[in-house]
Structure 1
Amino acid sequence: MKERPRGDGEPGEGTPGFHWLYGDGERGPNPSAPREPRPDETRVMPTMSRPAGQPPVDQRPAARSGRPDRSGTPPTPPPVAPTTGPERPRRRRGPRFYLRIVLVLLLLWAVYLVAVPFYAWTKVDKVAFEPKGDRPGDQPGTTYLMVGSDSRAGLTKEQRKEYVTGDVAGQRTDTIMLLHTGSGPNVLMSIPRDSLVEVPGHGTTKINAAYAYGGPKLLVQTIEQSTGIRIDEYAEVGLGGVVEMVDAVGGIEICPTFDMVDKLAGLNIKKGCQEADGRTALAFARSRHSDPRYGDITRAKHQREVVSAVGDEVLSPATFINPFRYWGVWMAVPAAFQFGDGMSPIGAAKWALAMTHVNGEDGMTCGVPISDLAVHWDPERSQQLFDYIKDDKTDDIPKGLCTPTGLPKSVTG
């Protein structure tokens, strides 16, 4: 068989696989024309020239993941499918985080407790109470003069009707009390408003007339002259103020020892301990006709009970825990009280604290020692009590000297 000439790149008969690729058949009449491959032959793709300057393209299949190809280039990692599982849990906050929150809240609460009294104090009216002229010298301890004015000023017609105060003009003192604090037990001593004393410039008359004649200054001068006790601080509360303070603390407990009916004071209650709102507490403190035996002396006793009960409620834990009650109590102070010039917020707080310590072992309450129901002071016994207060020796006061009515125990039983 005659050997067919081969073109460049064409395998010859001696080339392995020649017969497998091309077989033994003839190319037909035109040997240079490409012949159709048989079905069992493999087609060969034509060769394409590469443009000059273009690097060769590696047409080898990429190496399997994790195995470098033969060129030494690390394989490209396969794309990672996004996870569809649950989100990563957030880091839990430890105890220190919550401790900081608690400390911040406590700091804000402390600021609130301090800021509210100072804000209320800016709205309090001050009263000039110190008289001129000779006065007792400085004495140990602190003595407060507490006055309850029966002035109707500031009360609306509806309030006058509700509180049964009437429309009396002017102002007098329904309540006069001395509160002494010092090294011994606190003493809250009532001075009956009908006490007959020497009022400077007005002769012998009822002590409450001093307030009507010359206001706080003349009243302080009269008391200092009659008792020898120096008045260090002054506080005055009006009729409406009693109602507002009692309502601000949510009511107080009163314990009348007999049924009390007094139409002039608008009072009708049974004996025994009970809760009283502001209106009832005011009527309880004003009533002078419900006790036919002691009259105004019993009223002074009830006034001390109301003052002490209000003080207990104001300084109770419920006031400091409840922000609304705390705000209400302090906002009632400017409407309820007037304080003497020189009284500071700290001094007012000390006074309020002292009012809560006038019962039991912490203190005592009593009336000025009197010799009869006409409210004449007992010269000997009253002077003894005044001396104990002046010398701040309240822990030495005999029990028989400090009685609720001011009468000796042998008279009251």
Structure 2
Amino acid sequence: MTEDDRTRAMRSPGDGRPLPPRPSDGLRSGGAPAHHLPSGGPGAPTHKLPAAAQVPESPRVDEPVRGSSRVYGRERSGKSPVRPFKSRGQEPPRGPGGPAGRGGGPRGPRRRISWKAVVAVVAGLLVVLLVAAVALFFVIDSRLSGIDGVLDDYEGRPADTPGTNWLLVGSDSRKGLTAAQRKKLATGQAAGQRTDSMMLLHIPEGSDKPTLVSLPRDSAVTIPGKGRDKLNSAYAIGGPKLLVRTVETVTGVHVDHYMEIGFAGFVDIVDAIGGVEINVRAAVNDPKAGLNLKKGVQELNGSQALGYVRTRKGGALPDFERTKRQRQFLGAVVKKAASPGVLLNPFTSIPLAFSATDAVEVDSGTGAFNMLSLGLAMGDSPVTTVVPFGGNEVIPGGGTAVKWDRAKALALFDALKSDQPVPKEVVDAS
């Protein structure tokens, strides 16, 4: 009995019947069946089966078995195939033969954005914006309508003073308005052109704030060559040129720039910026101005804003209250126009620029750069006041006019001429 027979007999059941052979009992090293191997001692020749009939070697314990869920001694749930082992820091192969990306194709190398490319794109955009801004600046400059001779010299004209002085005029011109627009805006059918509001803006050379002074239209003044009359009569008699000369004569302040706006331009500018927010201090109902406003903060469109600055309703001194509303409105318009929401939006800034150039008339020496400095000054929250006055004066042509407080008025204009802050008592009086 051979050694294998004795081993089989030892694990046979008690009835002496041998157990069926195990699969491994029929193979020897080399893969040949046991009964084909000759018995003998060491060194006996062995016979191998052909390669197709050989049984593959058992897999190593550190490799996954195809179709098995046991990996590295742990059970995996599910039927998904086992991924190959990847050590820390090791990337799977890419390209052909590597793991597929989304869509089934091979995953290509990631593209990194170069900082040089980003800087180049940003620089290109800045150049385009700069060129567009410069082009728009020159377009605006070419569209400004200049009035010749407004600031011509004359004998006895006040000398140039420190700082920059603007005479800002709102006229009652109906130019450009249709009959329907005149009716809607309640401007009336009056012919000719008169000054509806006048302000003197002083922009200092130093760090002090600008000063905006209202000149009441009914002020009693001496018009050169015409005698004593209301201030707004100077414009009706001799236009912008005589008005500038009259203001310089009675104030002693040298006017450097002149700007005028009519009814139509006023409405267009307000509508171009989408209306303006005004705190109405008292309810106003004035059918002649086409105005009916409640008290409180509210958004006014162009038509309402025009009525708001023109009405004489409200207050014990209607003309005084009117000048206060005009200064309030002018500051609100400039603040809205200079806001980022308007300036940085081409759909509002460009129409505003074109509306403004169509709406205003300036002296022939004023350009877009001067208009920019005016806007910046108005956006700097200027000190606002009105020429101090007290009592009335009967004028030769009939009627009464507002008489200025001579001492306080001189203190105000002397401060502007010397480029100094306006005295506090003058500001408080407004």
Distance in 1 (alpha carbons) for counterparts of 2:171 and 2:105:
78
* Aligned residue among 184, 198, 201 for 1:162: 184
Query: How big is the alpha-carbon RMSD for the aligned residues of Structure 1 and Structure 2?
Result: 2.1
Counterpart residue identity of residue 160, structure 1: R
**Is residue 2:253 matched to residue 1:229?**
yes
Q: Which residue of 1 aligns with 2:270?
A: 246
Distance in 1 (alpha carbons) for counterparts of 2:244 and 2:289:
28
**Is residue 2:165 matched to residue 1:143?**
yes
Shift of the alpha carbon at 1:89?
5.3
Counterpart residue identity of residue 105, structure 1: L
Change beyond 3 A, Cα 1:384–1:85: closer
Shift of the alpha carbon at 1:85?
5.0
**Conserved 8 A contact 1:233-1:343:** yes
Q: Which residue of 2 aligns with 1:24?
A: none
**Conserved 8 A contact 2:144-2:367:** no
Q: Which residue of 2 aligns with 1:257?
A: 281
Off by >3 Å, runs of 4+ in structure 1 = 84-93
SS state at 1:268 partner: strand
**Conserved 8 A contact 2:165-2:256:** yes
Change beyond 3 A, Cα 1:85–1:386: closer
> Residues 100-129 of structure 1, C-alpha deviation per residue, up to 9 Å, x if partnerless?
222211221222223213212211210131
**Is residue 2:376 matched to residue 1:349?**
no
SS state at 1:253 partner: strand
* Aligned residue among 398, 401, 410 for 2:426: 401
Structure 1 unmatched ranges of 5 or more? 1-83, 406-413
**Conserved 8 A contact 1:309-1:356:** no
After TM superposition, the structure 1 stretch with the greater mean CA deviation from structure 2, 348-357 or 169-178, is 348-357
After TM superposition, the structure 1 stretch with the greater mean CA deviation from structure 2, 245-254 or 190-199, is 245-254
Aligned residues: percent identity? 41
Q: TM-score by structure 2 length?
A: 0.70
Structure 2 unmatched ranges of 5 or more? 1-103, 393-400
Distance in 1 (alpha carbons) for counterparts of 2:324 and 2:105:
79
**Is residue 2:411 matched to residue 1:384?**
yes
Matches within 5 A, 1:260-409: 260-288=284-312, 290-358=313-381, 363-372=382-391, 374-394=401-421, 397-403=422-428, 405=430
> Residues 283-341 of structure 1, C-alpha deviation per residue, up to 9 Å, x if partnerless?
111111x1151111111111111111111122111223211111111111122111111
**Conserved 8 A contact 1:367-1:403:** no
Shift of the alpha carbon at 1:87?
7.5
Shift of the alpha carbon at 1:94?
2.5
SS state at 2:161 partner: coil
Distance in 1 (alpha carbons) for counterparts of 2:303 and 2:127:
38
**Conserved 8 A contact 2:280-2:294:** yes
Q: Which residue of 1 aligns with 2:113?
A: 93
**Conserved 8 A contact 1:199-1:210:** yes
**Is residue 2:143 matched to residue 1:119?**
no
SS state at 2:423 partner: coil
SS state at 1:375 partner: strand
Change beyond 3 A, Cα 1:187–1:158: same
Q: Which residue of 2 aligns with 1:218?
A: 242
Distance in 1 (alpha carbons) for counterparts of 2:134 and 2:220:
44
Shift of the alpha carbon at 1:365?
0.4
> Residues 157-204 of structure 1, C-alpha deviation per residue, up to 9 Å, x if partnerless?
122122110111000000110000112221100001000101112111
Shift of the alpha carbon at 1:264?
0.8
**Conserved 8 A contact 1:149-1:236:** yes
| Higher Rg of the two aligned structures | 1
Distance in 2 (alpha carbons) for counterparts of 1:294 and 1:131:
36
Change beyond 3 A, Cα 1:102–1:231: same
Q: TM-score by structure 1 length?
A: 0.73
Q: Which residue of 2 aligns with 1:188?
A: 212
Shift of the alpha carbon at 1:90?
7.3
After TM superposition, the structure 1 stretch with the greater mean CA deviation from structure 2, 164-173 or 323-332, is 323-332
> Residues 58-83 of structure 1, C-alpha deviation per residue, up to 9 Å, x if partnerless?
xxxxxxxxxxxxxxxxxxxxxxxxxx
**Conserved 8 A contact 1:145-1:177:** yes
Shift of the alpha carbon at 1:88?
4.5
> Residues 253-286 of structure 1, C-alpha deviation per residue, up to 9 Å, x if partnerless?
1112111111111111011221111111111111
* Aligned residue among 125, 128, 132 for 1:108: 128
Change beyond 3 A, Cα 1:337–1:314: same
SS state at 1:158 partner: helix
**Conserved 8 A contact 1:369-1:382:** yes
**Conserved 8 A contact 1:131-1:221:** no
Counterpart residue identity of residue 314, structure 2: D
**Conserved 8 A contact 2:268-2:359:** yes
Counterpart residue identity of residue 262, structure 2: G
Distance in 2 (alpha carbons) for counterparts of 1:306 and 1:403:
19
Q: Which residue of 2 aligns with 1:34?
A: none
**Conserved 8 A contact 1:131-1:218:** no
Counterpart residue identity of residue 243, structure 1: V
Shift of the alpha carbon at 1:371?
1.3
Shift of the alpha carbon at 1:403?
4.1
